[in-house]
Structure 1
Amino acid sequence: MRHFLTLLDVSPEEARYILKRAAKIKRKLKAGKATHSLEGKTLGMVFDKASTRTRVSFETGMYQLGGHALFLHSGTTQLGRGEPIEDSARVLSSMVDCVMIRTYGHDIVQKFAEYSKVPVINGLTDLTHPCQILADVFTYEEQRGSIEGKTVAWIGDGNNMAHSWINGAVSFGYHLKIASPEGYRPDAKLLEAACALGANVTLTDDPIAAADGADLVTTDVWASMGQEEEQAEREQAFVGFQVDDRVMAHANSDALFMHCLPAHRGEEVSASVIDGPQSVVWSEAENRLHAQKGLLDFLLRGQD
């Protein structure tokens, strides 16, 4: 049994297999051919945080693979009434084949996985968002070929997506340049651990320096869910960190722009960039579906 709480829970070779499997499943779907590799399997989806893409992609993905997904909101389950996480894990994992959790503290998914009898997937925590990085790398490679040896620029908050890009540098071998203002840099321990495993990461407080020579430029909202009270403070801190045409002009001419969405045009990204020709955010969003099907297939069936 394997869990997927961070990207580093799978080896670089296994991460590559997941994307290869995702590509094969996507090609078959576009050709009108079904892949029912998870027929009879059930995914329990536990949500503490609101979601559009995570719920739709996992629910649709299980259906397309011949399985079934159950939506469980913490507010309407015993988890939301104070049942210990370990008790919920024991019970839920006795009834389903896999559990996906989208929540706040990373310790919640760790504790659930500790007591679960089935694979547990991190659908997002405040620390990491590993399913999104699978979709992002999958999207880049569809458009431009292997990401290994390329340069990725992260501009903005050192949040869960920044952490996922850091871990991705271990798995996929790209050079990551992160531009964040003082006080909003990535978690130092996570960065140190990834660099010890071979991640090539450069930190700067200059968005132009990060974008210079980049093959991919990506960002996220300045205030994530749960940080709404910090919105005004963060807007001040992130002045100059918007990904706009000036920033993109310093990236390579064929560089792509990504955003995990939802986006705030006029804040972390200009409308001219996210709606412009270098943006692949809509393909990126769709590829959550396909990358997660590759992941589910791997966790529940292993490698062919």
Structure 2
Amino acid sequence: MANHFISTNDVSNDVLRALVDRAVEFGHGRVRQTLTGKLVGLYFRRSSTRTRTAFWTGALRLGAQVVTFGPNDLQVTTGETWGDTTQVLSGYLDGFVARTNDTMEELRELTDQNQMAVINALTAHEHPTQAIADLTTITEEFGDLGGVHVLYVGEGNSTAAALAFTLGRIRGARLTVLSPRGYGLPADSLEIAGRLAGDNGGIVEQRFELDDAPTDVNVVYTSRWQTMGVAKADPNWQLGFTPYRVTQELMKRVSGDDTIFMHDLPAVRGGDVDDAVLDGPQSRAFRQAYHKMTAAMAILEWCVGTETGDPA
């Protein structure tokens, strides 16, 4: 029976915590090949540096073999339905990692079988595997997620949504999303995050004015303003985003004694973040990128592994 990972909202709080803890273990080098004999397919419709490589190398480190598909390699491009494609692939593969950049409904179609685990490697609405990498990085830094305050600066994109869905489920954790007006979290994502926070004791809030930025936060997080390089409808959109660039001045204004900086990458240097911040002593962006692989390993092991005990 496959465990699908389409949204973090599909898994229990216990599973969420276990995935993060397992990724931390992998990050400390405690790895054994629990996926020997498994076959994992990677389908990326759009460009990817970190997520594709993270799942590919992570699968290999765990002993699995990998089959890769480019954007035009599957017959869905010639009219075959995803249902027929999945029925075939599920007889070949144990897991299927897909980045579509479109809606999650398309990936949900792939889960109409229980032989092949389906993993969401990014849709327009949520980046769930990124959230596991983020929580892993924060856990490694602070030891616990309860009481951590994350300030996310920039567009309320799929990365921000995934953060909201996960941090809201952790008692005592707080996420403040600070966005230009018109570019905050979508209303439905904010509603879901608010409901999760209400049920679990976290706090998720949306703010728009820079003067309302909280201080003494534990994490300052930003993301590329043009997700996957997709242009925005307003040709002058950058004018509204420029004040939200993460600079040394902003870091000094909101930081406490132990504040770190995070970025899901790729970064636009001089755009969403200044070099001095991305390369500075507070930055954990490249350790965070490493944890994309440890998170991928934890997710793959949970989704397709038959043995997930403590690593040797």
* Band the TM-score falls in, shorter-chain normalisation: over 0.9
Q: Which residue does 1:133 correspond to in 2?
A: 131
Aligned-partner SS, 1:37: coil
What amino acid maps onto 2:112 in structure 1? Answer: E
Q: Does 1:176 align with 2:179?
A: no
2:303 to 276, 287, 299: 299
Deviation at 1:148, TM superposition (A): 1.4
Deviation at 1:261, TM superposition (A): 0.5
Deviation at 1:38, TM superposition (A): 0.4
Superposition pairs of residues 150-189 of structure 1, within 5 angstroms: 150-173=148-171, 174-189=173-188
Aligned-partner SS, 1:240: helix
Q: Which residue does 1:101 correspond to in 2?
A: 98
Relative to structure 1, the CA distance from residue 272 to residue 83 in structure 2 (aligned partners, 3 Å threshold; closer, same or farther) is: same
- In 1, the alpha carbon distance for the partners of 2:297 and 2:28 equals 12
Q: Which residue does 2:79 correspond to in 1?
A: 82
What amino acid maps onto 2:169 in structure 1? Answer: S
Q: Does 1:91 align with 2:94?
A: no
- In 2, the alpha carbon distance for the partners of 1:42 and 1:210 equals 46
Q: Does 1:73 align with 2:81?
A: no
TM-score by length of 1: 0.93
The answer to whether the Cα contact below 8 Å between 2:178 and 2:213 also exists between their aligned partners in 1 is yes
Deviation at 1:82, TM superposition (A): 2.6
Aligned-partner SS, 1:69: strand
Q: Which residue does 2:208 correspond to in 1?
A: 205
Q: Does 1:270 align with 2:256?
A: no
Relative to structure 1, the CA distance from residue 95 to residue 16 in structure 2 (aligned partners, 3 Å threshold; closer, same or farther) is: same
- In 2, the alpha carbon distance for the partners of 1:28 and 1:181 equals 40
The answer to whether the Cα contact below 8 Å between 1:11 and 1:171 also exists between their aligned partners in 2 is no
TM-score by length of 2: 0.90
The answer to whether the Cα contact below 8 Å between 2:168 and 2:204 also exists between their aligned partners in 1 is no
What amino acid maps onto 1:75 in structure 2? Answer: N
- In 1, the alpha carbon distance for the partners of 2:131 and 2:143 equals 16
**CA RMSD across the alignment:** 1.8
Superposition pairs of residues 1-304 of structure 1, within 5 angstroms: 1-29=2-30, 35-105=32-102, 106-115=104-113, 117-173=115-171, 174-198=173-197, 199-225=202-228, 227-228=230-231, 230=233, 232-249=235-252, 250-301=254-305, 304=309
Deviation at 1:76, TM superposition (A): 2.1
The answer to whether the Cα contact below 8 Å between 1:211 and 1:251 also exists between their aligned partners in 2 is no
- In 2, the alpha carbon distance for the partners of 1:201 and 1:170 equals 6
Deviation at 1:171, TM superposition (A): 3.4
The answer to whether the Cα contact below 8 Å between 2:165 and 2:196 also exists between their aligned partners in 1 is no
What amino acid maps onto 1:27 in structure 2? Answer: H
Relative to structure 1, the CA distance from residue 49 to residue 266 in structure 2 (aligned partners, 3 Å threshold; closer, same or farther) is: same
The answer to whether the Cα contact below 8 Å between 1:243 and 1:269 also exists between their aligned partners in 2 is yes
- In 2, the alpha carbon distance for the partners of 1:195 and 1:133 equals 17
What amino acid maps onto 2:106 in structure 1? Answer: I
Aligned-partner SS, 1:172: coil
Deviation at 1:49, TM superposition (A): 1.1
Relative to structure 1, the CA distance from residue 19 to residue 101 in structure 2 (aligned partners, 3 Å threshold; closer, same or farther) is: same
What amino acid maps onto 1:50 in structure 2? Answer: S
- In 2, the alpha carbon distance for the partners of 1:23 and 1:5 equals 21
- In 1, the alpha carbon distance for the partners of 2:113 and 2:189 equals 24
Deviation at 1:114, TM superposition (A): 3.0
What amino acid maps onto 2:148 in structure 1? Answer: K
- In 2, the alpha carbon distance for the partners of 1:209 and 1:52 equals 35
